[in-house]
Structure 1
C-alpha cells in the first residue's frame, strides 16, 4: 500500500506541476512584515536544524487560495561553521502521508535584497513564489523555504550570492521541518532559482558531508549565479548590463558589511555614492527601482587595478563549483540572460562534470533570466524521488 501511495503522489507531482508551471523570480511591489526575534546571541545551539520558535504563517489573497504553514526560527551554521539562527517557512501537504513520510523539497529563492527585512517569510506571497509552493504541496511534497542568513533574523550581514552560505540554511531547513512535523521522510530534493539556483547546486555538493543522515536524491539549479568574477572586468570596461549593475551594488554593499577593509569608495564613481542607500534597499523597494534608472555602468569602475583584484578575489572565493556532487543535478539556463551570462554557467557546468556529475542540462538559446524552459523540472524531480535512472549530459 505504501508503494501505491508513493506512485500516486509522484504521478500527481508531474501532472500538477506540468499543468500549473514552475514560476520564475519575483519582481516588484512593496514589502510587508517585520522581524520579532532579536536575540540570537543568547540562544543555545545543540545542533543545526533544531527549532527555536514556531509561529503560524498564512499567505495573503482570498481565503480559498490561501496557503497555511509555519514560520520557523531554526539553528544553522555560517561558512565558518559558527552557529547562527535563521528563519524560513515550512509547509506540509494535506491528507495522509505515504509510507515512510512525505518527501521534502527545499526551495531556494532568487535575490530579494540584503537587509533583514528582505526575507520572503515577511511577505504574503513569498516574494512571488507562493504558487510554486502551492503546486508542490498539491503534488504531495512537503516544502521548506529558507530565508537565508541575514534575511529575516539579525544573524549577521547577509552573505549575498555566497551559495555555500545559503545552502547550509536550505539543508538545515530540511532538518528543521522534520522537527516541526512528524510525518516527514528523510528523502529530499532541492530546487532553486537564480541566487537560489546556485544555493541548490551548492547544497548538492555539501549534502553528503554536511547532512549524511538525510537522503538527497536530486537538485535543480535554474539560471544559477555560479561565478561573478567576470563582472569585475565588465565594471572596469563600463559594460555591465543594468541588471548586473543592481546585482553588483548589492554584492559590494554585502562585502563591505562583512569585510572592514573593503572600501566602497574604490568602487563608486560619479554620483553612485549619493544613490547608494536607496540602491541598498530590498528588491521590492520603489526607491531602489528609481535609483537603478539613474545610474550608469561607468560609475561602477574600480578605482585601480589593486581595487579590481581585491573584488575579484572576494568573488572568486564564493564561485561554483568546488567539489563533486552528492546527487544528480539538473541545470537550466538561457542564452540571452542579462543577469548571468550563459558562458559563465557553461564554464561552471564543464568544471562540475570534471569534478563528478551526473548533470542534466536544458539550454534555451533565446531565453533570458525569467523565461527558460522549465517544463522538464516536474518530471525530473518525480523521477529522482522514484529512483529512475538519470540522463547524464556530462557523458554526451
Structure 2
C-alpha cells in the first residue's frame, strides 16, 4: 500500500461504534465525531428521573493519599455538558490519585463523574466506569476538558437514563499538563478506571459500592483490564461485571504488520500514536526516528492532533501517510516494540466477575484474531467470559444493543452464561 493510496479513516473508526442502548426507552446511535444527523437520538427519561427530588449531595476534595482520593472537584471547565445536565444529572470534573501500570508509582489523573438526580435506590446508585475511545496522546486530549467530552457525552447520557452513575477517566497523561500518556498500556487504564469509581463515590455519597466496567475500543481495553484487576486492586468495591466492546486487545500483531507493510489505513495513525507515546514515557528505550519516515517526522505535529478537535486538518495529513511511514527500521527496533506490547496488552489478570466481550469479524483496526487470542488467554486464566463474535461487523458498526440489558440484569443478581469451553 502506497502513501498515495492510503486513506486515513482513523479519526472516525477508532472512536466509532454503533451503540444501541436498550432499556428505559433509550436508544443511542453514535458513529464517532461526525455522526449521521439523520440517525435518531431518542432520550426519554423515565418518570423517576424527572421527579423533583432534592439535589444530590456533592462533597469537595479530600486527599487521603490513597488511590481514588480526590484532589480537585470543579464544574466542567468549558461549561455544562448539555446532553447530560439537561437530564438533571450532576457533572463534576475531578483530579484523583491512581497508579501507573508501568512501574506501579502513584499518579494523578483527571476525569468526569456523574450522578443521576433523584432518590438513590437502596444501597446507592451503581456506577459505570466508562472507558472512552482514543482521543490522542497529548496532555490536552482529555475528554473532561471539552464540552462534548470528545464524543462521549451522548453515551454517558444514555447510561444515566438507564439508572446508572458514571465515572469516566481521562486516563493518565490526558487532561493533566506535563504528564505523559502510556498509550496501549492496559494495566494503567485498568487502574485509572477502578480509581475513577472510588473518586466518584468520594464526591457523591449517593453512590453505592457496586460498579460495572464498560468501554468501547481503547475503552474496551480499559474496561477489560479493570475487570481483571478488580480482584487484587479493587478492594472496597463490588464489581458486578465487565463489558468490552470492540476492545483494543493483544496488539503485538501491529509489529508484524508494520514489518510486512500490511497495516490497514486505520492502523497507521495508531502506530504513530504508539511511537510518540513510547518516546515520551520510555525515552531510554524508544526513539521516534527508529520507526517513522522523514516525511512523517516533518508532519508529526499534525498527526498527533487530538481527535476530533480538528478532524479536517488531521484527515488531510492522515490521507497522505502510508504504511511505509511507520515501520521499524531495524529488527532490533521491531523486537523492542513487540516485547513492550506483549508486556502491556491484555490480559492482565484473572477476573472473578462476569465479562461480556463483543467484537466484529471485519474490524479493520483491531483484527479479530488479536481479540480471540486475548480471549483464549483470559479463559485459560479462569476469567468467566461470554464472548460474542459478530459476523461481518466492523469496529465502527457493531450492534451492541444487548449490552445495556446485560448490565441491568447484573443488578438483579443474574448470572450470565459463559462460553470459554466452546471456543477453539
Same fold (TM over 0.5): yes
Higher helix share: 1
Q: SS state of the match for residue 271, structure 1?
A: helix
Q: Determine the structure 2 residue equivalent to 1:69.
A: 91
Q: Determine the structure 2 residue equivalent to 1:78.
A: 100
Q: Determine the structure 2 residue equivalent to 1:309.
A: 335
Question: Which one is further off, 110-119 or 127-136?
Answer: 127-136
Name structure 2 gaps, 5 residues minimum: 1-20, 36-61
The alignment status of 1:280 with 2:304, answered yes or no, reads yes
Aligned residues: 369
The alignment status of 1:185 with 2:205, answered yes or no, reads no
> Which of 360, 377, 380 is the matching residue for 2:406?
380
- What are the equivalent positions in structure 2 for 1:53-202 lying under 5 Å apart? 53-57=72-76, 58-60=80-82, 64=86, 68-79=90-101, 80-154=103-177, 156-202=179-225
The alignment status of 1:354 with 2:380, answered yes or no, reads yes
Cα distance in 1 for residues equivalent to 2:131 and 2:297: 31
Contact 2:72–2:95 (8 Å) recurs in 1? yes
Query: Deviations for 1:125-176, whole angstroms, at most 9, x for unmatched residues?
Result: 1121211111121221111111001011136210111111011111001111
- Cα distance, 1:14–1:299 mapped onto 2, change above 3 Å: closer
Contact 1:24–1:193 (8 Å) recurs in 2? no
Name structure 1 gaps, 5 residues minimum: 1-12, 29-42
Q: SS state of the match for residue 24, structure 2?
A: helix
- Cα distance, 1:254–1:350 mapped onto 2, change above 3 Å: same
Cα distance in 1 for residues equivalent to 2:29 and 2:400: 6
Query: Deviations for 1:177-214, whole angstroms, at most 9, x for unmatched residues?
Result: 11111111100001001111011000011111112210
Q: Determine the structure 2 residue equivalent to 1:252.
A: 275
> Which of 271, 280, 295 is the matching residue for 2:295?
271
- Cα distance, 1:62–1:331 mapped onto 2, change above 3 Å: closer
Cα distance in 1 for residues equivalent to 2:34 and 2:246: 16
- Cα distance, 1:78–1:15 mapped onto 2, change above 3 Å: same
- TM-score by length of structure 1 reads 0.88
Cα distance in 2 for residues equivalent to 1:110 and 1:277: 21
- Deviation for aligned residue 1:26: 4.2
Question: Which one is further off, 352-361 or 336-345?
Answer: 352-361
Q: SS state of the match for residue 308, structure 1?
A: helix
Q: Determine the structure 1 residue equivalent to 2:11.
A: none
- Deviation for aligned residue 1:56: 1.5
Larger relative contact order (C-alpha < 8 A, sep ≥ 6)?
A: 2
- Deviation for aligned residue 1:59: 0.9
- Cα distance, 1:266–1:45 mapped onto 2, change above 3 Å: farther
Cα distance in 2 for residues equivalent to 1:378 and 1:107: 12
Cα distance in 2 for residues equivalent to 1:240 and 1:71: 37
- Cα distance, 1:67–1:269 mapped onto 2, change above 3 Å: same
Query: Deviations for 1:50-76, whole angstroms, at most 9, x for unmatched residues?
Result: 111111231146985686411111111
Q: SS state of the match for residue 118, structure 2?
A: coil
Contact 2:361–2:391 (8 Å) recurs in 1? yes
Query: Deviations for 1:103-135, whole angstroms, at most 9, x for unmatched residues?
Result: 111100000001111111111111212111111
- TM-score by length of structure 2 reads 0.83
- Cα distance, 1:235–1:380 mapped onto 2, change above 3 Å: same
- Cα distance, 1:53–1:394 mapped onto 2, change above 3 Å: same
Cα distance in 1 for residues equivalent to 2:105 and 2:383: 30
- Quote the RMSD (CA, aligned, Å): 2.1
- Cα distance, 1:370–1:213 mapped onto 2, change above 3 Å: same
The alignment status of 1:50 with 2:69, answered yes or no, reads yes
Q: SS state of the match for residue 307, structure 1?
A: helix
Moved >4 Å (runs of 4+): 22-28, 60-68
The alignment status of 1:297 with 2:305, answered yes or no, reads no
Contact 2:63–2:71 (8 Å) recurs in 1? no
Q: Determine the structure 2 residue equivalent to 1:3.
A: none
The alignment status of 1:318 with 2:344, answered yes or no, reads yes
Contact 2:89–2:116 (8 Å) recurs in 1? no
Contact 1:159–1:254 (8 Å) recurs in 2? yes
- Deviation for aligned residue 1:88: 0.6
Question: Which one is further off, 306-315 or 64-73?
Answer: 64-73
Q: Determine the structure 2 residue equivalent to 1:39.
A: none
- What are the equivalent positions in structure 2 for 1:321-332 lying under 5 Å apart? 321-332=347-358
